[in-house]
Amino acid sequence: MLVIPVIDIKNGKCVRTLQGLDDKTEYYQETPVKVAKLFRKENFKAIHITDWNGAIEGEMKNYDIIKEISHSVDIPIQLGGGIRDIETAKKMFSELGVYRVVIGTAAITKPGFINKLLDNFSASKIIIGIDEKLNNVVTNGWVNYANITPLEFAKFVESIGIKRIIYQDVTRVGNCCGPFLGRIKEIAESTKLKITSAGGVGCYADLKALMDLNLPSVDSVMISRALYENNFPCQYLWRNIEKLDISLDLPKIK
C-alpha cells in the first residue's frame, strides 16, 4: 500500500487540522518547503498538498509556496484546495507541474466542471475528494452539508468517468483514531473506483487494518499528523540522521 504524506498549508504555514475546526488548528514549526524535502529524504514516492485557504475560501492563497515545493522535490505532487474552474486546473498542471489535482467542493457545486476536466485531461490526473461527516458529504473545508451520502456520491462520480477518489471521515482527521473501515469497504465493494484512504491513521496497526480489508482497490493511504509526530519507528532513523548530520547516500533533492 502506497503511503502518501500530507502537507496542509494555511496562511503560508504547515498546519494540523482537527476535524476541520478553526479553533483547534495547530501550526508546525517547520516551513512547508522544509517538510517536503524531509519527506523526500525519507523516500516517500509522492506528496499530497492541501491549500486550506483555497479549500475554505475558494481561492488559492499559497500558490508561491506550492510552486517552490514542486520545484524542490523530484516526486509527484498531488494538490487540492481551491481548484474550482478549468483555468485554475490548467495552471496547476502547466505552471506548477503537479501530477494530479484533487477536486472536492466543485465536484458537488459544479458537476459540469468534472466533465470539462475529463475532456481536457486524462482521468488519471483527476481525483475526487469525498469528505464525510455523519454519512453526509461535506464541502467548503468541511463546513457545509451536501445532502448526499458518500456512497451515492462515489457512484455518481464513477458514472461520469472518475477512476479514483480520496475518502475520509472528517471526524477522524487529526485525532489518529483509525480510518472508517466500514465505509471504505462499502464503497470498495459497491464501485470499481480506486480508493485512497485518508483521515485517522495514527500508527502501524491502522495501516495493517486497512491492508487486512484485502481490497485491491484500496491501494494507498494519506497520513499527516502521525508522520509529523514520529509515530512510525522507521522515522526515528531518518530524523536522527538529520539531527546528527550523518552523511548517508540519501536521495538527491533538486
Catalytic site positions: 8, 131
Element (H or E) spanning 242, and its range?
helix 233-244
Q: How far apart are CA 163 and CA 20, in angstroms?
A: 26
| Other beta carbons less than 10 A from residue 228's beta carbon | 20
Residue-by-residue DSSP string for 110-147: -HHHHHHHHHHS-GGGEEEEEEESSSSBEETTTTEE-S
The residues near 252 (Cβ < 8 Å, ≥ 6 apart) are: 74
Q: How far apart are CA 9 and CA 54, in angstroms?
A: 10
Burial of 43 (0-12, 13-18, 19+ CB in 10 A): exposed
